[in-house]
Amino acid sequence: MMTSLWYGAAPAAGVAWFGWAVRGRTSQVFAPSVYRGARDRKSVALTFDDGPSESTPRLLELLAREGVKATFFFCGKNVRRLPGVARDAAAAGHEIGNHTENHARLWLRSAAFVREEVMGGQRTMEEVCGVRPRWFRAPYGVRWPGLAAAQREAGLTGVMWTVLGRDWKLRAEGIEERLLGGACGGAILCLHDGRSVVPDPDITQTLEAVRRVIPALRDRGFQFETVTQILCPTKTT
């Protein structure tokens, strides 16, 4: 009986381990990544995936009014569709990260496919935005064999998140609750200014949540930084 239980539990444990390996925020199995900065610094990083979109200018206006710099993990296909918006984000002082060329699912794909998605996104950011990203976020947060080599070749480090806003399905109140509930020193907050590579997505709830969250976090004493600032703080003497 005990033997049969062990044999039944082993595959389940293997599946659970593999699920953590590909998507766990602390996993380093398939590619180096980070998910938070130093806990003792009262700073958070707002990050936005899947852009740019036709609604990104509204987000840029909101961030400008609040004096907040964020990190945008852009998809190359969207950057090529909306190059002016992408360049506006970079010119405003926001940090540009790589979110692959096509927001393709990397799992169950070859190392060559993974490499081309990563390198394609890197080329697009350099050609259109005039910047070479140092940070990479995998679509859906899924890492896969071949990604470590691609990141190394491109000079990228993976970035997961401390808090996922789930803003693609929640209303502003729910997004706000998740972000405020998980905010802590060094937190990386993940939102979206696009929806994969779909043109003209509705990000109304995201915008409303950001409008609420920024002053609420400031009232708690937090400051806003880019991913580079929160992970590589400047040493003071």
| All structural domains of the chain | 29-231 (3.20.20.370)
Q: Quick: pLDDT tens for 85-109.
A: 999 999 999 999 999 999 999 999 9
The phi and psi torsions of 180 (rounded to 5 degrees) equal -70, -35
Which helix (H) or strand (E) element contains residue 82? none
Residue 236 pLDDT greater than 50, yes or no: no
Q: Quick: pLDDT tens for 116-144.
A: 999 999 999 999 999 999 999 999 999 99
* Active-site amino acid positions: 49, 192
Q: Kindly indicate the confidence band of residue 9, based on its pLDDT and cuts at 50, 70 and 90.
A: low
Residue 156 pLDDT greater than 90, yes or no: yes
pTM above 0.75, yes or no: yes
Any idea which residue has 């802590």 for tokens? 184
